[in-house]
Structure 1
Amino acid sequence: MSLKYSTPDNQIYKKALAQLSNIQQRAINDERNGMRWKEISDDDDLNRSKEETIAMLYEAFTEAGQNTRVADGLTKWILSTRQDYSWRTTTGTAAAINILKESAMLKTSFAADSVSAKIGDQQLNSSNGLLAGQRNQFVGTNKIAPVTISANNTVSGGITWNYFSAEGQADDTKNPVKLKKTLFSYDKQKNAWIPLSDKPILKLGERIKIVLTIETAVNLRFVQLEDKRAGVFEPVDASSGQQYQDRMQYYRSVRDTGQQLFMDFLPSGRSELSYEVTVTQEGAFKNGAAMLQCLYNPGVTAYSNAITVISKP
């Protein structure tokens, strides 16, 4: 307001410019994520007030006309955070869209965005063209090869490597989200749940509790968790519906092969989900790996360990 309704020779105008300079000095800026401030970017999630704060900062720097690089940096940060978080309110969405609409960094063009990637000697092309565009493309390779990427515009996308490995040997050392499956047996004498080994030997009719432990450093939204159930197990509660466990509310869908959990919000930290089953068959069975995926950002995926189960009369 001070910049918009005062003249450059006014003392209030000069004071506002000094405050903007101080704000700019406290900013974090990099080529990939753009410009942001620690007080905002360190939060686990965006919300209405922070999106509107960014919009007001953008308007102030644009009104000052000192540095278009600052406004471009704010635009880039809004776009980069959009890959992880949705704008959940009308006011926050309007504020963010107004930044993008006014940004000089984003050029209005009728040409489709296209991305090319070269994996070894194989070429991948993806485009969002209305008629001839192809958003996904798949190639097969039997070795690790260098990847080079080029695009005609600033776009967001990803390359996913799908591969087969021995069950129970998923490599999640560098994964920001970790998922672990543990089996527990109910001890009637101790009146407690006892953790089982990797290859437990179970008895018919025995009660088993399956515990899925999730560890994530940030909040996740729109998460699907699928746990395949071994043929030796039958769920104690086979009804689908809304559930609540360990700070999480989710919808559970029970199927013959396992169950799927759908969560609007997964809090950061360590969370545990559990359900009980009964041993109903004899033999050796493989309790497959559970899979967690953030549907809003499919690049966030985690797999649990698989467990071999042996049951006897």
Structure 2
Amino acid sequence: MKNILLSESPWVLEAQTEEQQKERIATLFDLNNIRSNNIAALTRLQELQNSSGAWSWYKGMSGSRYVTTYIAELNARLAMMTGGKLDGAALALQKNAFTYLHQEALKEYKEILKAQKDGVKFTGVSGSILQYLYLVAISGEQVPAANKSAYTYYLSKVGEMLTTASMDTKAIAAIILDKAGRKKEAQEFVASLKEHLTKTAEQGMFFAFNETPYAWGGMKMQAHVDVMEALELIGGNNDTVEEMKLWLLKQKQTQQWNSPVATADAVYALLMKGVNLLDNQGDVRIVIADEVLETVSPSKTTVPGLGYIKRSFTQKNVVDARKIEVEKRNPGIAWGAVYAEYESPVSDVRQQGGELNVQKQLYVERMVNNAPQLQPVTEKTVLQVGDKIVSRLSIRVDRPMDFVQLKDQRGACFEPIGSVSGYNWSNGIGYYVDIKDASTNFFFDHLGKGVYVLEYGYRISRAGTYETGLATMQCAYAPEYASHSASMTIIIK
């Protein structure tokens, strides 16, 4: 149930891509396809690895420590998820990568020793060294004899980061210390992490202060996953980890992750240990209007392999659809939505909203002491032709959402001031505005958690009695999140 036609939005291409993704989902469960992709990926990695063991950003470039660490981390995490050890081509790639990383870590250690002789003091370790220590910890890699002194020095500096490090750094430090046998220090880092967690019944556990719309392609996701991993590997935090899984799934519900890094992190966090979500077949039984819907019935699912069903009821084939029974018959998470469409006089509509909320207030501009002043419009406000009206839309979002659309209806007596559509930036938020004959549409590619205020003006063009119209807002990516304002009757003299 989309409030705005897709053809009216700037997201037609994204919607086509999403539909193609749904069509390809079934191939992800084909074992032959999986084996073929694995062989192709390993062959490609072999071709791109330099003689030093490093990988570069692009073929022909010099080795990149960052790219090499990232690929080695994915290999190590893959081994942890499967419960086995790397072998064959994957093992050879990993050994070559560690040869390069050991050399880089030793080179940095020698530079530190040289700088210390010149009086430079160091606290903690660099990000690249932290990732190196983390890789050694989760892979069980043996540190070469030449690197023993460097490893011991780096390890001694990790404990100094407790009071100053970010959440993801603390999580990685906890894993390093725990695997090195320094259990007490690791528990201190875990305690610090848990102090910052927030919990809600609907979203699970997460770091509220880490939700920023300006974060690069999923960095908040990376921090969340790192903390989940630390709590899981150190142990004793099963309930917390399961609650944090819920937050990850709720993020995917309302956002399109364009970052492969964030997606890979999320998959790892959901499947590494704990309750196996792949064992949950989503056995849900729904009874509505004397009809039974079963999500485990392949012949009735809308998208194969997803347990997703969609059913529409009209007045002709529904005796009573106001009562719906939903039974979840196995562990795990499931969600759905119910949309009811009916006719009602616009004057009877009341403001509605929840996780996504929009409120509309009209103001009339008056001159007070030779200065313009906005005064709220009520049903008792005396308005005249020519008055300037300002529509103020207050938006509240309790979680990040992608592809959000807002439609603000105009009363027939209003003419917009400025009729040019285009991209705007206002109050720290960017959006595309499309001005129509009877409404103004706003399109937001992304809305971070928070409160936003939009204002635009129009003139009163004719006398009479009118409805101001509704402001309707909806997340096109997750249409179950929607809100609308109330309308109001005004009299123009």
Contact 2:347 2:467 in 1 (8 A): no
Mapped pair 1:107 → 2:275: no
Counterpart of 1:5, as a letter, is G
**Alpha-carbon offset, residue 31 of structure 1:** 9.3
Which structure has more RCO (C-alpha within 8 Å, separation ≥ 6)?
1
Deviations 1:102-125 (A, max 9, x none): 56713389x8x6754113634345
2:371 counterpart (174, 181, 191): 191
- Counterpart AA for 2:182: K
Q: Could you state the TM-score of these two structures normalised by the residue count of structure 1?
A: 0.74
Measured in 2, the distance between the counterparts of 1:11 and 1:61 equals 11
Q: Whole-Å Cα distance in 2 between the matches of residues 172 and 130 of structure 1?
A: 38
Larger Rg: 2
Pair 1:45–1:270, CA change in 2 (3 A): closer
| Residue of structure 2 in register with 1:87 after alignment | 257
Q: Deviations over 1:18-56 (max 9, x none)?
A: 73697389478899766x45xx35533595334334444
Take 1:276 and 1:11, find their aligned partners in 2: how far apart are those partners?
Answer: 60
The CA deviation string for residues 128-151 of structure 1, in whole angstroms up to 9 with x for no partner, is 3449x9742123566742522346
Conservation of the 8 A alpha-carbon contact between 1:248 and 1:267: no
* TM, length-normalised to structure 2: 0.51
Determine if contact 1:114/1:151 at 8 Å carries over to the other structure.
yes
- The residue aligned with 1:307 is 488
Match of 2:302? Answer: 128
Cα contact 1:199–1:308 (8 A) shared by 2? no
More helix by share: 2
Give the 3-state SS of the residue equivalent to 1:78 in structure 2.
Answer: helix
Counterpart-to-counterpart distance in 2, 1:32 and 1:183 = 33
Aligned partners of 1:11, 1:51: CA distance in 2, in Å?
Answer: 23
Q: Secondary structure at the match of 1:83?
A: helix
Given that 1:202 and 1:310 are in contact with CA atoms closer than 8 Å, whether structure 2 keeps it comes out as yes
Letter in 2 for 1:52: Q
CA contact (8 A) 1:3 1:60 kept: no
1:93–1:238 Cα change, 3 Å:
same
Q: CA deviation at 1:168?
A: 4.7
The whole-number CA distance in structure 2 between the counterparts of 1:3 and 1:232 is 67
Tell me, what secondary structure is at the counterpart of 1:299? coil
Please point out which of 338, 356, 366 is paired with 1:159.
338
Instruction: State whether structure 2 residue 184 is matched by structure 1 residue 5.
Output: no
Specify which structure has the higher proportion of strand.
1
Distance 1:84 1:95 in 2: 17
Give yes or no for the alignment of 1:119 onto 2:288.
Answer: yes
Alignment of 1:1-313 (within 5 A): 1=134, 2=137, 4-5=139-140, 13-16=180-183, 19=186, 23=190, 26=194, 36=205, 40-41=207-208, 43-44=210-211, 48-57=218-227, 75-100=245-270, 102=272, 105-107=276-278, 115-119=284-288, 121-124=290-293, 127-130=301-304, 135-139=309-313, 140=318, 144-150=322-328, 154-172=333-351, 175-188=354-367, 190-192=370-372, 193-198=374-379, 200-312=381-493
RMSD: 4.1
Alpha-carbon offset, residue 263 of structure 1: 1.4
**Structure 2 stretches of 5 or more lacking a match?**
1-133, 143-176, 296-300
What amino acid does structure 1 have at the position aligned with 2:489?
Answer: T
How far is the alpha carbon of 1:260 from its aligned partner?
0.4
Q: In 2, distance between residues paired with 1:204 and 1:30?
A: 50
* Mapped partners of 2:355, 2:243: distance in 1: 26
Q: 1:191 to 1:255 in 2, by over 3 A?
A: same
Aligned pair count?
305
Unpaired runs of at least 5, structure 1: none
2:251–2:400: 8 Å Cα contact kept in structure 1?
Answer: no
Report the alpha carbon displacement of residue 302 of structure 1 after superposing the two structures with TM.
Answer: 1.4
